[in-house]
């Protein structure tokens, strides 16, 4: 049996919701569910001593809402909100939640959220010599193959199913690619994922705080799930 390498917990005041998520999770051998909590305060106690990679989090709960719980977390796990209410989606994504699932959660939609989690947290092979020794990348844009030197790239941002690659000499290139897909082709020593929507060339960062980085005339937000790694690398 394949050994799980990601851990998660479920926080939901409805036991049936916890049971359904556990059933959905049983299809993923790489994710181990450590526990399910109907009491958000008990979950906070658990998270005070244990670190997990992923939290399935309800929003409307007695005593402590999911959004307030997320704001108080010390360990920044990935968050997938699970709720019966659509109106909190904007608040959830403002807090850099990975996904927002509306109950009842179809298995197909659950799979999409899990794949997004695995894609985001997958162990990258970027450190291989083959990637680090490359000087250029070929980007397909506007029916052409553009050879772009890594130092020429400043920012890469996500646009749904596309990415926008900002360069010094070729302007902006729109490519049919995911941010996680192109991340695997970039040398880690030069590029840094700072947000689920942004990768930056660290050599073009002019200034930074705990909340954002500055490149040219742009201030790019550092996502809460990336903050610890970003600050550690930049400092």
Residues 205/214, Cβ–Cβ less than 8 Å: yes
* Enclosing H/E stretch for 4: none
To the nearest whole percent, how much of the chain has pLDDT over 70? 89
* Per-residue pLDDT at 4: 59
Query: Which ranges constitute the DSSP H helices of 48-176?
Result: 66-72, 89-94, 107-121, 129-132
Please work out, in degrees rounded to the nearest 5, the angle formed at the alpha carbon of residue 76 by the alpha carbons of 32 and 197: 100
Residues 221/212, Cβ–Cβ less than 8 Å: yes
pLDDT at 15 over 80: yes
pLDDT at 121 over 80: no
State the average pLDDT over residues 7-33.
94
* Per-residue pLDDT at 188: 83
Count other Cβ atoms within 10 Å, centred on residue 7.
16
- Residue with the larger pLDDT of the pair 92 and 153: 153
State the average pLDDT over residues 141-165.
91
**CB-based contacts of 43: which residues, under 8 Å, 6+ apart?**
9, 11, 37, 69
Residues 191/202, Cβ–Cβ less than 8 Å: yes
State the average pLDDT over residues 218-224.
93
Whose tokens are 């989090």? That residue is 57
Cis preceding linkage at 168, omega within 30: no
Strand partners, 83: 102
State the average pLDDT over residues 46-71.
90
Distance of alpha carbon 106 from alpha carbon 140, whole angstroms: 35
pLDDT in tens, 74-107: 777 899 999 888 776 666 666 778 888 999 999 9
* Enclosing H/E stretch for 46: helix 40-47
pLDDT at 1 over 50: no
Of 11-20, 46-55, 113-122, which one has max mean pLDDT?
11-20
* Per-residue pLDDT at 93: 65
State the average pLDDT over residues 100-118.
91
To the nearest whole percent, how much of the chain has pLDDT over 90? 51
pLDDT at 224 over 90: no
Q: What is the DSSP letter of 192?
A: E
Distance of alpha carbon 56 from alpha carbon 61, whole angstroms: 13
pLDDT at 176 over 80: yes
27's torsion region: left (phi>0), alpha (psi -120 to 50) or beta?
alpha
Q: Is 200 exposed, middle or buried (0-12, 13-18, 19+ CB in 10 A)?
A: buried
Whose tokens are 């244990």? That residue is 50
The pTM of the full predicted model, rounded to 2 decimals, is: 0.54
Instruction: Catalogue all structural domains in the chain, each as residue range(s) with its CATH number.
Output: 6-121 (3.40.50.2300), 129-234 (2.40.50.1020)
- Residue with the larger pLDDT of the pair 76 and 131: 76
Residues 54/80, Cβ–Cβ less than 8 Å: yes
State the average pLDDT over residues 210-232.
91
pLDDT at 129 over 60: no
């Amino acid at each position: 049996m394949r050994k799980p390498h990601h851990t998660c917990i479920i926080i939901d005041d409805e036991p049936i919701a916890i049971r359904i998520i556990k059933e959905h999770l049983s299809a993923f051998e790489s994710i181990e569910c450590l526990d399910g909590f109907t009491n958000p305060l008990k979950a906070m106690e658990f998270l005070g001593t244990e670190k997990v990679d992923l939290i399935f989090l309800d929003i409307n709960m007695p005593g402590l809402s999911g959004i307030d719980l997320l704001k108080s977390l010390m360990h920044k796990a990935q968050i997938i909100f699970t709720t019966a209410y659509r109106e909190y989606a904007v608040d959830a994504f403002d807090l850099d939640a990975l996904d927002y699932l509306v109950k009842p959660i179809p298995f197909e939609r659950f799979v999409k959220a899990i794949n997004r989690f695995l894609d985001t947290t997958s162990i990258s092979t970027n450190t291989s010599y083959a990637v680090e020794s490359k000087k250029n990348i070929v980007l397909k844009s506007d029916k052409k193959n553009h050879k772009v030197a890594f130092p020429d790239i400043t920012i890469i941002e996500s646009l749904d199913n596309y990415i926008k690659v900002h360069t010094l000499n070729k302007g902006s290139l729109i490519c049919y690619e995911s941010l996680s897909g192109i991340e695997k082709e970039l040398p880690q020593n030069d590029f840094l994922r700072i947000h689920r929507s942004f990768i930056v060339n660290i050599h073009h960062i002019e200034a930074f705080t705990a909340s954002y980085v500055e490149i040219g005339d742009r201030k790019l937000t550092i996502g809460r799930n990336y903050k610890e790694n970003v600050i550690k690398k930049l400092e």
